[in-house]
Copies of this chain bind each other. A is one copy, B any other.
Amino acid sequence: MRIVVVGGVAAGLSAASRARRVDPSAEILVFEKGKRISYGACGLPYLLEGQVSSIEQLVVYRPEFFERERNIRIRTESEVVAVHHGRREAVLRSGERVRYDRLVWAAGARPARVSRSPRVFRLHTDEDALRLEEYLGRERPQTAAVVGGGYIGLEAATALRARGLRVRLHHDATTLLNREDPWVTKRIVERLEQCGVDVRLNEPVDPEALDAGLVIDATGLRPNVEVLAEAGAALGRTGALAVSERMETSLYGVFAAGDCCEARHVVSGRDVWIPLGTTANKMGRVAGANAAGRRERFQGVAGTSIVRVAGLAAAVTGLSQQQARREGFSPVEAVVEGREKAKYFFGRTIGVQLVADRNSRRLLGAAVTGDDGVLARINTVAAALAARMDAETFAGIDLAYAPPYAAVMDPLLVCAGQLLRLLDS
């Protein structure tokens, strides 16, 4: 039994490791097109910011670790350019053909737009970050433009501002973070502007044409599906690979995981494409287990994410009111501000927004902004969404309280109480 994994970052290595646990005797090979495996791409903005001192600090495991500790063969700089599934063969760029019994496709995503301008940078791979660092050191630009208001764009704007550049953030829509949600956007824009970032919403621009010493193109990604699509794997409505809850593609014995494939949204029930590292890990484990012969399922995503923007924590999960309406719900939204812990423990303000469905009274989503206390609130909602919890049950959750850590009336529950009143009115 030979399991071939394509992609050596989050999803691929999770799949390979899990497959090894399930089947101690299978032959497991991982092909990675880049030079490095197992690096935390989520840390690249912090390399730019200076919190991380080198790419090497972001590398979790080296190839030798997988070879030695997990008996998994790793081949870097080895891009798979074709798959002949009838013959169970993957073809490398070198022309080498590799047979497989099971294939796990974890080839990730890539920037949808590519620039050749030496002034325009992406922040997608380790190589992107190194090129950017080199440019910053050599050219010492005084101004930067960031294009794209997703989390990478927001982190990049924060990092460049922290390095002292004058920063302009361009975003083509009116709301940030891929969340049609004026409330969240307002909080983030306020904070960015307080920190001196010039924010331009609803203003599509051409990164190449911007007048700035440096441009970060943080616009959309595109899933790496072409090779597998060519081999006959079906794509979903989003253009990413369609997979079953077993993480199997339409090709029997070919699994997919991570940024290249879709996932079921736990609230809407629809297949969505939300490329995130944590999701990649979870998908990878399920794909790896099933490739090795188990029958596990991936329960889907809620689109939970958190980002630090100029010191503000902004987190979302589930559906915004606008998204919920589009998915056929009758959403009701409550927003409250409250102290995250006792005043005498310097509790700062946290903003909580909850969305529920008027008919079913089911909780649909949340956004939270504030400080360190944001994680606790957003994850509590994420758990509730996984359970398809109704607003009543949510309002009664027995949350932890002590003055150094929380508020006796948690803003989350105060907000849930308001939501109940709106649902009843």
A residues in contact (CB < 8 Å) with B: 10, 40, 42-43, 46, 51-53, 57, 151, 266, 276-279, 281-282, 285, 298-308, 313, 315, 317, 342-345, 372-387, 389, 392-394, 396-406, 408-410, 417
Contact = CB atoms under 8 A, between A and B. Distances in A.
A400 B304 contact: yes
B383 A308 contact: no
A410 B278 CA distance: 9
Contact of A46 (B10, B397, B403, B405): B403
A173 B220 CA distance: 59
A155 to B, nearest CB: 8
Contacts of A299: 392-393, 396
Given A266-B398, A400-B305, A400-B315, A386 B375 contact: no
Given A298-B396, A397-B382, A405 B42 contact: no
Contact of A384 (B301, B372, B383): B383
B305 A402 contact: yes
Contact of A279 (B51, B285, B376, B398): B398
A383 B375 contact: no
A285 B397 CA distance: 14
A399 to B, nearest CB: 5
A84 to B, nearest CB: 34
A102 B394 CA distance: 28
B277 A408 contact: yes
Contact of A276 (B52, B313, B401, B406): B401
